[in-house]
Amino acid sequence: MTDGDRGPNSFSREAWARNAAAYETIRTMPFNGELAAGTLRQDRFRHYIVQDAHYLIGFGRALSLAAAKAPDPDGIVQFSRAAQDAIVVERALHGGFFRDYGIGPETFAGTPLTPACHHYVSYLLATAYAEPFEVLCAALLPCFWIYKAVGDDIFARAVADNPYRAWIDTYAGEEFAAAVAGMIAATDRAAEQASPGTLARMHDAFTQATRLEWLFWDSAYRDAAWPL
């Protein structure tokens, strides 16, 4: 993309197009198909929900660092609120499943991060510390956008009495949609003034985070753990 090609939403459009095949792989992977059908084994979802709760702590930290790097007050407020939502709002969602599955604070604290979760969190935090604001936005965006796209897709085909309805409704809901739209807009604004080199790093970050989204769900489906 050249400077002359840039316009509103140009980064997000191109980033999604470059990773459309990866998204389709995510959309159709067994974890999400069985989640929509309500047939996903409870132990697989339990694995996922515990690791997701661990992930959101790291995600919240990365969002807080994005707030600190934001170039204007509106960005500070936006990313600070996103960090709060990651820790407080989504914790309520996880808390309901934790109660259903009998997962207490000690059990949660004693469950280590899987390789996939550790990799994703470490990648986001490394990006937050080492990369400029623009690249960090691109690395954070797939978690918002892919969850929204997957949530909408699952909502459209989910069975009525789905045991995972609370999860489905959260990510297909209007509040999350507004947060995703805000994140896309913030990333596009950051890309508008980015140098060609920074823009290339933004695309690399978006692609890497997209891969890690797939890895996270795949890991939960396979109940992947450390081999040693």
Q: Sorting pLDDT into bands at 50, 70 and 90, what band is 7? A: low
CA dist., res. 217 & res. 150, Å (int): 12
In this predicted structure, what is the pLDDT of residue 5? Answer: 56
Mean pLDDT of the chain: 93
Answer whether residue 87 shows pLDDT above 80.
yes
Answer whether residue 1 shows pLDDT above 60.
no
Identity (one letter) of the amino acid at 163?
A: P
Q: For 113, which DSSP code?
A: P
pLDDT in tens, 174-213: 988 999 999 999 999 999 999 999 999 999 999 999 999 9
In Å, how far from its chain's centre is CA 97? 19
CA dist., res. 92 & res. 171, Å (int): 13
Those residues whose C-beta lies under 8 Å from the C-beta of residue 21, and which sit 6 or more positions away, are none
In this predicted structure, what is the pLDDT of residue 185? Answer: 97
In this predicted structure, what is the pLDDT of residue 9? Answer: 78
Backbone angles phi, psi at 71, to 5 degrees: -80, -5
Q: Sorting pLDDT into bands at 50, 70 and 90, what band is 4? A: very low
Q: Sorting pLDDT into bands at 50, 70 and 90, what band is 6? A: low
CA dist., res. 78 & res. 186, Å (int): 9
CA dist., res. 27 & res. 215, Å (int): 13
Q: Environment class of residue 171 by beta-carbon count within 10 Å: exposed (0-12), middle (13-18) or buried (19+)?
A: buried
Q: Sorting pLDDT into bands at 50, 70 and 90, what band is 3? A: very low
Q: Sorting pLDDT into bands at 50, 70 and 90, what band is 15? A: very high
CA distances for 142 relative to 22, 95, 160, 176, angstroms: 11, 24, 28, 14
- Rounding to the nearest 10 degrees, give the CA dihedral for residues 66, 72, 74, 76: 30
In this predicted structure, what is the pLDDT of residue 8? Answer: 63
Q: Are the C-beta atoms of 184 and 145 separated by less than 8 Å?
A: yes
Q: Is the dihedral of CA 71, 137, 155, 31 positive or negative?
A: negative
Region class of 102: left (phi > 0), else alpha (psi between -120 and 50), else beta: left
CB atoms under 10 Å from CB of 172, counted, come to 19
